[in-house]
Amino acid sequence: MKIIAILIAANMFFITMTAQADKAIHQHKSLEIKQQSLLPRVALTLVRDETDGLNLTIDIANYVLNS
C-alpha cells in the first residue's frame, strides 16, 4: 500500500512540474553564421596525475568567454 501511495505522489509531482514548465515562454531568434566565420571549438582532455589525481585541460579556440 505504501508503494502505491509513493507512486501516486511521485506521479503528481512530475505532472505538476511539467505543467509549470510548459507555461514559460522560451523563444530565441535564429542566428545566421557567415560562411567565412570560424566556428567555436572546445576540447577537453583528462589525464591521470602522478599523485593519484586527475588533470583537466580545456582548450578553447575561436570563442570569447562572457562575450
Phi, psi of 15 (to 5 degrees): -65, -40
Q: Are 44 and 55 in contact (CB under 8 A)?
A: no
Q: Which three cell numbers stand for residue 6?
A: 509513493
**Do the domain assignments include residue 55?**
yes
Number of domains making up the chain: 1
pTM reported for the whole predicted model: 0.40
pLDDT of 60 above 70:
yes
Identify which of 31, 55, 36 has the alpha carbon closest to the alpha carbon of residue 45.
55
Domain limits at 46? 39-67
d(CA 8, CA 6): 5
pLDDT of 45 above 90:
yes
What is the mean pLDDT of the segment spanning 28-57?
Answer: 86
**pLDDT attached to residue 38:** 81
**pLDDT attached to residue 2:** 79
**Do the domain assignments include residue 21?**
no
